[in-house]
Amino acid sequence: MTVLPPRALDAGITGWRGVSNKLVWVDVAAILMSAIGGAVVGVLLLWLIQPAPWIGWLVIAAVAVSAVVRLVIAPRRVHAIGWILRDDDLVVRRGILLSRLVAVPYGRMQLIDVNRGPVARLVGLAELRLVTAAATSDVALPGLPEAEAAQLRDALVARAEERRVGL
C-alpha cells in the first residue's frame, strides 16, 4: 500500500467512480444518534449538577453546534469519496480538508471484506474493507451498493490471485 500526495496522482487519473448518495442518509442517521446521546448527557448534567447548570447547557450547545456542522459537511464528504481500478492497483480517495489518496497493489491484498451495518443495510449499502500486510493499511470504501460491493470484491480477489501466482 502506498500513500501518495493527492495532487501528484489525482491529476493524471480519469474515470473516478463515486459512492452512492444514500451514504449521506447513513451519515445523517449516525450524526443524529450521536447528537441525541450527547443531548442526553447534557440533560443529565443539568439535572445532576445543581450548583453549576451552565455545564449541562454548554454540553448541549457544543453537541448542537457539532451536529449542525457535521450535517452541513456530510454531503460534501460523501461526494469526496472515490475509487478507480487501474492495471496494477486500486486507488481510493477520500476526505475534504485532510484528503487521502491510497493506491493498494493487487498483489498486496490479503483480505477483502464486505461489511454492512444496520442503517446501511436498510438502504442497501455495504462497505468494502481491504487488509494488507502493512500495519497502517486502513483502506475502506463505504457507500457501495450491495451488488456492486460483491462484484468489486470478486474482481479484486481475482486480480489479487493473478498477481500472487506471478510472484
Residue-wise pLDDT tens digits, 21-34: 999 999 999 999 99
The answer to whether 91 touches 9, Cβ cutoff 8 Å, is yes
Q: Quick one: cell of 151? A: 462484484
The pLDDT value recorded for residue 58 is: 92
The pLDDT value recorded for residue 122 is: 93
DSSP state of 107: G
Q: Quick one: cell of 150? A: 460483491
Range picked from 5-9, 13-17, 135-139 for highest mean pLDDT? 13-17
pLDDT of 166 higher than 70: no
Phi, psi values for residue 144, rounded to 5°: -90, 140
The pLDDT value recorded for residue 14 is: 77
Q: Quick one: cell of 135? A: 500495519
> Is the pTM here over 0.75, yes or no?
yes
How confident is residue 147, by pLDDT bands cut at 50, 70 and 90? very high
The pLDDT value recorded for residue 9 is: 46
Nearest alpha-carbon partner for 4 in 89, 75, 128: 89
H-only helix segments in the chain: 6-10, 23-48, 54-79, 118-122, 146-165
